[in-house]
Structure 1
Amino acid sequence: MRAQELAVRWADALDGAVAPTLTRAQVEQLLDGFGERLIAAVRGTADMSVAREAAAALVAANYRDPLAVHRSVLVLCKDLVEAVCPERDCADYWPVRDRAIELGAEFAAEFTAGLRNVALSEQERTLGAALTAAREAEARRQLSEARFQAIFEGASVGIGTIDIHTGLVLDVNNAMAETLGVPAEAMPGRSVADILGPANIGEAFGLFQRLLSGEIDRFRFESEHTKPDGARTTIDLSMTVVRDSEGRPRFLVGVTVDVTDRKQLADQLWHDAHHDWLTGLPNRLLFFDRLAAATGQVGVCYLDLDGFKEVNDRRGHTAGDRVLCEVGQRLRRALPPNGVAARLGGDEFIVLVENCSGQDELDTIAESLLAALRDPFDVAGLLVHVGASIGTALVDTDSTAIDELMHAVDTAMYRDKALRHGALGDAR
């Protein structure tokens, strides 16, 4: 598959997303500019920065729909792999797919950052306009008050003003009322704590008190918000002291933006970038993050499936994928609460046991994992058997480097595989 064909497939995938003003031909031309570099990156002959550049280009082209990043990641993780390795029997298939997944993660990270920057820029422009109008109100009251009122009422973000001496709300616009889930007419004359309610006071109230006392001039943070009807949203809240020409505080301006959709998209993209697309288990990246963050004594079990290549060769890769999915489910069910299973790639799985009590516990868990794989797997009505070789290591994370730990479990796993194959040979 050539770079131009990849661009066409990508443009096809983006059809139906909230579209920019570009024509279809312009979209294809935009994406074609990244095709050769993406293919080179997935082959390992170029760096991964092209994925971030492609994401930035789509955001700049006004793609805002979550479908755009979802479908783009699928193109990078599937069509791009097919462009380089049309057949799964290709010798470089697994390294190519791993690099494609990394490209997808880089793309998703940059796309999320781009969306956040766009939202924050819009918020900053709105807040800046509101503050500018408020300052002009002191110097040229009649004209600037009209400008401020127009911005105040027509803004798509929530804006409210608060008396700095009493802490009571002076006025809010309809967007603020919609964000908080409280009618606009019900807020003036009430305190912020009363409007937010006990479930939402938290950090916001503490920062608000520091603002009223003059300890700080502004604050901004993101928090979960529960509306009176029980609906939960994520809100980006900014609040600033407005001063007169002599520097005396006059009132407070608060700006709220409902970022629930953006937060959900960011959470989904994080999940997709840290989990195996086939089994749903944590991937290599998340596993090593968990391992690096673990403290005290941990146990690791490294599993390599026995007989899986035969399933692929005889039943096909679709059957192999079904077996891998079932393996992931069985491993997850066999684990104790302090264990987490991950797929490293191909037919390799690994388990981390945090706060492991000792070798006895680790041996028991390893036996449970092997037992979970002994029963045959039902693949489209056909029963296939897949075993596993397993290596274990029990280490103190404070004194053992990660590479030393992985070398230990890798060696133990291959020793187990050799013993198993030797036993099979003796039985014959």
Structure 2
Amino acid sequence: MGSWELAQRWADALDGVVAPTLNRSQIEEMLAALCTGLIDAARGGEDPDIARRAARMLVAANYRDPSAVSRSVPVICADLVEIVADGPADPALPQIRDRAIKLAADFAAGFTAALRAAALAEQEATLAAVLAAAQEAENRRALSEARFEAVFDGALVGIGTVDMTGQVVNCNAIMAHMLGQTPETMPGRTVADILGPRNLNFAFEQLQLMVAGESESFRTETEHLHADGRVTAIDLSMSAVRNSDGGIEFLIGVAVDVTERKQLADRLWHDANHDALTGLPNRPHLFNRLAGAQPPIGVCYLDLDGFKEINDLWGHTVGDRVLEVVADRMRDAVRPDEALAARIGGDEFLVLVERCSGEAQLARLAETLLSALTEPLAVDGHMLAVGASIGTAFFERLPGAVDELVHAADAAMYRNKNDARRDPAR
């Protein structure tokens, strides 16, 4: 079992997502080539771009629906691991799973980037066509006005024109819908009046500069708040259209509704930076946060006592539920404005406190966590007791290597654990 079988499973998972530009045989051949690289990467190969390259090739083959990601991630995280690992007893299985998770995160990020690049390329092509048609309308009105109207009304993106007083001349139905208007209600009104005071943001400021003749064009991503509270994310480009004498005749804007893409990007970012089981921030997210943390810094390193015995006695399903309950209790015990709680692996957790006041604050936090975690847990009909060991570390300044924070707290935790073993009364 190898790259060809993995490619067939992947093709089965993607079946029905969209109408790709390739037939089934071509899809399997494309995926088989990608699967060879993914298998090598899961085994520890050194091709850091393989997952992102796979995402770009899928987008190029017209797999542009978000479900292409949700169907591909299980293939990478489960089927790929099954093929690479030498059975459930393979000692390399944890490393293979970690590599597969990283490959899935890279694939999701690559898919978002490729999707955005494809959308922007289409937007640029549309804008170029509109500008060319508008320019020709000035030079050869009789013939080109019909072409411009066809592009204007038939475009799959929002298009609108604004005169040099800031009033809307006209717009197509898609542009009007993005702004919560109709094509009939917009012409003759100022942009400020249409947007309303809540939406007079950076894009409006740039438009004012263009109306004043101080800017030729701009492009930005902005948000439009509707009266019902709904928010639309818009990728907006505006350019000046000049007459034969070089003067600005009017301004033309092209807008693309990128709300779904932005939501997908936000969701993929969250999934890549949070632990799938507990929902807490994961190790990479924590280390990114540590690298830019505001000193003084305090950390609490925590692991569970007796967790292995629970897994051995009751099984991993119950063990997973215990971790979920522990994560919930940590969320309740740690105020978001005070600290960040993260799962860094297995039954190990870390709490980061920025602008920490000192050891006393860490001691209080550790006591709160211990009190919350040592209460019996009701899991699937079982009353379970889980202990916890916590070590703390305080730094006036951020160390040169963020690992020092974790290692210091880890060492303190093991000292506490060993002291407790020598003195059970503690």
- The 8 Å contact of residues 318 and 379 in structure 2, kept in 1 or not, is answered as yes
8 A Cα contact 2:198 2:225, kept in partner: yes
Distance across 2 between alignment mates of 1:185 and 1:361: 62
Partner of 1:238: 237
**Residues of 2 paired with 1:89 and 1:415: CA distance?**
33
Q: Which amino acid counterpart does residue 263 of structure 2 have in structure 1?
A: Q
8 Å contact from structure 1 (residues 80, 100) kept in 2: yes
Q: Distance in 2 between matches of 1:67 and 1:169?
A: 38
Taking the aligned partners of 2:14 and 2:120, their CA distance within structure 1 comes to 25
Which segment drifts farther, 365-374 or 61-70?
365-374
Q: Distance in 2 between matches of 1:212 and 1:98?
A: 54
Task: Name the structure 1 match of 2:300.
Answer: 301
* Shift in alpha-carbon separation, 1:348–1:261, aligned structure 2, 3 A: same
The residue that corresponds to 1:17 in the other structure is 17
CA offsets 1:331-374 (integer angstroms, 9 cap, x no match): 11111331111111122111111222111110111121122221
Aligned-pair identity (%): 58
* 8 Å CA contact 2:341, 2:352 repeated in 1: yes
Letter in 2 for 1:119: A
Q: Match for residue 46 of structure 2?
A: 46
Match of 1:154 in 2: 154
Please give the root-mean-square deviation of Cα atoms over the aligned residues, in Å. 1.9
Deviates more, 1:89-98 or 1:118-127: 89-98
In 1, distance between residues paired with 2:399 and 2:282? 25
The CA distance in 1 between the partners of 2:23 and 2:386, in whole Å, is 51
Rounded to whole Å, the distance in 1 between the matches of 2:317 and 2:25 is 35
Q: 1:68-125: per-residue Cα shift (whole Å, max 9, x none)?
A: 1122122222332333346555433332222222111111111001111111111111
Q: Matches of 2:138 and 2:291 in 1, distance apart?
A: 56
Give the match for residue 70 of structure 2: 70
Tell whether the 8 Å contact from 2:399 to 2:405 is kept in structure 1 after alignment.
no
Aligned to 2:421: 421
Structure 2: state its 5+ residue gaps. none
Shift in Å at residue 67 of structure 1?
0.7
Return the alpha-carbon distance in structure 2 between the equivalents of residues 90 and 341 of structure 1.
Answer: 32
The answer as to whether partners of 1:182 and 1:228 remain within 8 angstroms in 2 is no
Cα distance change on mapping 1:312 and 1:8 into 2, 3 Å = farther
Q: CA deviation at 1:308?
A: 1.7
- Aligned partners of 2:223 and 2:232 also within 8 Å: yes
Cα deviation per residue 1:262-316 (whole Å; 9 max; x = unaligned)? Answer: 1100000000110011111101111112112211212101112222222222222
- Per-residue CA deviation, residues 167-205 of structure 1 (Å, 9 max, x unaligned), is 211111111111111011111111110111111112222
Q: Deviations over 1:3-62 (max 9, x none)?
A: 333223222322342241433333332222122321221222333311011101110110
Asked if structure 2 preserves the Cα contact closer than 8 Å seen for 1:94 and 1:345, the reply is: no
More displaced stretch, 168-177 vs 242-251: 242-251
Aligned 1:96-245 pairs, distance under 5 A:
96-164=96-164, 166-245=165-244
Q: Secondary structure at the match of 1:252?
A: strand
- CA, structure 1 residues 40+123, in 2 after alignment: closer, same or farther (shift >3 Å)? same
The verdict on how the C-alpha distance between 1:28 and 1:420 changes in structure 2, with shifts beyond 3 A counting, is: farther
Taking structure 2 as the reference length, what is the TM-score of the superposition? Answer: 0.94
Distance change >3 Å, CA 28–CA 217, structure 1 → 2? same
Say if 1:161 and 1:254, in contact at 8 Å, map to a contact too. yes
TM-score, normalised by the number of residues in structure 1 = 0.94
Tell me the distance in 2 between the aligned counterparts of 1:372 and 1:228: 43
Q: Taking structure 1 as reference, are residues 48 and 322 closer, same or farther at Cα in structure 2, changes over 3 Å only? A: farther
Unaligned 5+ runs, structure 1: none
